[in-house]
Amino acid sequence: MTIAKLVPAEREIRRSFLSGFGKFTLSATAIALLAGNEKLALITPASAKTANDDVAILNSALGAEQQAIAAYQLGADSGLLQKPVLALAVQFQGHHKQHADALAKAVQKLGGKPATPLKDYGFQKDKLKSEADVLSFAATLEKGAVSAYLGAVPILTDRELAKAAASILGDEAMHWAVLRQALGQTPVPEAFVS
For domain 3-36+49-182, say whether CATH 1.20.1260.10 is its number.
yes
Domain boundaries, the chain: 3-36+49-182
Residue 142 has pLDDT above 70, yes or no: yes
Which is higher by pLDDT, 104 or 23?
104
Alpha helices in the chain (DSSP H): 3-6, 10-23, 28-34, 48-77, 83-109, 131-152, 159-182
Residues 6 or more apart from 83 whose CB is under 8 A from it?
A: none
Residue from 9, 102, 15 nearest 62 by CA: 102
Q: What is the pLDDT of residue 153?
A: 63
Q: Provide the whole-model pTM.
A: 0.73
**What CA–CA distance (Å, rounded) separates 146 from 143?**
5
Residue from 122, 127, 15, 112 nearest 64 by CA: 15
Residue from 163, 174, 124, 137 nearest 35 by CA: 163
Q: Are 130 and 80 in contact (CB under 8 A)?
A: yes
Residue 115 has pLDDT above 90, yes or no: yes
